[in-house]
Chains A and B, each alone.
Chain A
Amino acid sequence: MPAYITKRLLMSIFTLWLVATLTFALMFMVPGGPFLAEKAPSEATLKALNQKYGLDQPKIVQYKNYMIKFLQGDMGVSLKQRGRTVSSIIFTGFKVSARVGGLGILLALLIGIPLGSIAALNRGKWIDNVIVVFSTAGIAVPSFVVSTVLMLIFSVKLDLLPTYGLTSWEHYIMPVIALSLYPASYISRLMRTSMLEVLGQDYMRTARAKGLSQFKMLFKHALRNAILPVVTYLGPLLAYTLTGSFVVEKIFTIPGLGSEFISSIVNRDYTMIMGTTIFLAALIIIMNLLVDIAYKIIDPRIQFK
């Protein structure tokens, strides 16, 4: 077990370094720079700016400087949003994104797990069919479609919910639903298959033969085993929520990390690109690592290799 964790940890660090290096290399392949706005600054100003942020040095030196500073915990200052450090921008953006995304993930789990279980318990009945149809349709609808259609119905036609910003609880409703529809459908499908498998196992028959109540049988025996695939899905789920947040934040004009990431690329804000990419990549990689480790702890049948 410790050997496994060490190995995975080392691999994660390597992946993270790879992503950072790749991002650094790709970033400078794009023509243009952070200081070339519509009103181009004079030659001298440009030179001074480049010098100030160390952009005049050879790329390899910049890379070395960035990495050393990064390891010391300093991600630098934003080149575009003057006077703000990258870490403070990421922190503010992440707080917003995490709230919306976290609620989305929570909602997906709260909808998906019960729906999948109900479908499996009523296999072949109408309720199972309804759930299967809805979850199959749910995984086919991209989050931008859900967001825009929700907006069309609830804001434009019915005028019930606000379309942009994030100032009251009503603002959360549409983004959270838009983010959770796909994962909720996916989880309910996962849950249904694994629940069906568990219900067919011998120990479930034993439990029934022992005379356990339906409730105890479901919650003590079936659910605990059937939920395992959902645990493995948590890693990809986070990555998906992130992707969804790029879109959802754009549609509902939410000042989150997703929109910071996109705008940093558009603006060639080099330090911001590096900062957000490394932060988001680390988030996903760490989450995947934790899920893998948790999975092996929860399910002792899986061997360490």
Chain B
Amino acid sequence: MKHVNNKLSLQLDVSDFLPAGQEEKQSLVIMRESVSFWRDGVRRFKKNKIAMASLTVVIIILIFAFILPAFYPYSYEQQIRGSENLAPMQYSQQELELKASGVKVFPHILGTDSLGRDTMIRLMFGSRISLLVGLVASVLVLIIGSVYGSIAGYFGGKVDMVMMRIVDIIYTVPDILIIILLMVTLKYPLEDLANNVPGFGWINTIGVGLICIFIVFSLLYWVGMARIVRSQILSLKEQEFVTAAKALGASHGRIIRKHLLINSMGALIVTTTLQIPSAIFTESFLSFIGIGVAAPMPSLGSMASDAIGGIQSYPYRLLAPAIMISLIILSFNLLGDGLRDAFDPKLKD
């Protein structure tokens, strides 16, 4: 049969109309279902034993910090008279008498501190504070960083240059010095705001220290996120689907939200997860040197700091928060590594 070379020719090629052979049909059969990006990532994540183990630990810690305190008979600020400085599982005289008379007394699993506060519940609340700081700070960083980074990356040119210069400058600012200064100074205007301006009373319920930490972290830590988002957007915006969306008349905001950010989701999730342990790290450091969360609210850092005074007689008081903070940071680090390997292998350095 003569093959038609000229594509514009109207002459029909009869071979195009023959019924498909067995082999041709075979090639169209779907051997394996196509796997979406998410499914593929989840599959890879599940295969990673370390990542799954760290996810389990994170979930256990979340339950320990957020759910267990509701069922715990003591509260973190409750000072039990006569039960000061108890060793783990030790009962005070009064409690022993109560027990003898048949009343059930919940044991102080980790003992009590010098003010008669149960260490276990303080550990739970300390972990809660750490986790809250980590999670909220990371989400704030994610929001600010991705909005800023995507605007810079998407519009490019002069906008990008000016915006990224600002990022460069903030990047070179020694963060820990500014964080310490801000932590000390922000407290006063915030307290003022909470006590004197109606509508800001909620600041006191969350705690001025925590709000300070959130503000400080969102002021300084978004730059890393902005850089990563920008570089993602820069490579994505040249792709055809963006041109297609533009051709269909999508607005800039829509393209950024629905096309660019969605497609860089892998990097966003990974960077946010890895931001959590670093925020927890900084919070515990601040609380340890005494400018973090305010008493009586416990934090793992301040608990460790309090324990130093009695290190000779009560070493276990130091070990509990020390192990907890290390465990939290370790499990989030490993979880982040696992997510990176599963969802964004390119990010691996």
- A, B assembled together: yes
Interface of A toward B, CB cutoff 8 Å:
11-12, 14-15, 18-19, 22-23, 26-27, 29-31, 136-137, 139-145, 148-149, 151-152, 156-157, 193, 229, 239, 242-243, 246-247, 250-251, 261-262, 265, 273, 277, 280-281, 284-285, 288
Inter-subunit contact B284/A144 (CB<8 Å):
yes
Residue among A23, A152, A288 with most chain B CB within 10 A = A152
Judge if B266 is at the interface, Cβ distance under 8 Å. no
* Contact partners of B327 in chain A: CB under 8 A: 140
B191 to chain A, nearest CB (A): 10
* Contact partners of A261 in chain B: CB under 8 A: 177, 180
Could you list 8 A-B pairs, sorted by A, with CB under 8 Å? A27-B185, A136-B334, A143-B285, A156-B312, A156-B315, A247-B285, A285-B172, A288-B172
Residue among A140, A149, A261 with most chain B CB within 10 A = A140
Q: Which residue of A lies closest to B192 (CB)?
A: A31
Judge if B319 is at the interface, Cβ distance under 8 Å. yes
CA–CA, A148 and B305, complex, Å: 9
Inter-subunit contact A15/B169 (CB<8 Å):
yes
* Contact partners of B304 in chain A: CB under 8 A: 144-145, 148
B269-290, CB < 8 A from A: 277, 281, 284-285, 288-289
Indicate which residue in B175, B184, B318 contacts A149 across the interface (CB closer than 8 Å). Answer: B318
Q: A26-B182, A30-B188, A139-B333 are in contact. Are A144 and B172 (CB under 8 A)?
A: no
Inter-subunit contact B177/A277 (CB<8 Å):
yes
Q: A18-B173, A139-B333, A144-B305 are in contact. Are A31 and B188 (CB under 8 A)?
A: yes
* Contact partners of A31 in chain B: CB under 8 A: 188
Judge if B13 is at the interface, Cβ distance under 8 Å. no
* Contact partners of A239 in chain B: CB under 8 A: 174-176
Q: Which residue of B lies closest to A229 (CB)?
A: B349
* Contact partners of A136 in chain B: CB under 8 A: 330, 333-334
Judge if B56 is at the interface, Cβ distance under 8 Å. no
* Contact partners of A18 in chain B: CB under 8 A: 169, 173
Inter-subunit contact B277/A140 (CB<8 Å):
yes
A267 to chain B, nearest CB (A): 11
* Contact partners of B182 in chain A: CB under 8 A: 26
Q: Which residue of A lies closest to B305 (CB)?
A: A144
Q: Which residue of B lies closest to A145 (CB)?
A: B322
* Known A144-B301, A145-B325, A281-B174; further 11 A-B contacts with Cβ < 8 A: A23-B181, A137-B330, A141-B326, A144-B285, A148-B322, A151-B311, A152-B315, A156-B311, A156-B315, A247-B285, A262-B180
Judge if B189 is at the interface, Cβ distance under 8 Å. yes
Q: A15-B173, A140-B329, A239-B176 are in contact. Are A152 and B311 (CB under 8 A)?
A: yes
Judge if B262 is at the interface, Cβ distance under 8 Å. no
* Contact partners of B180 in chain A: CB under 8 A: 246, 261-262, 265
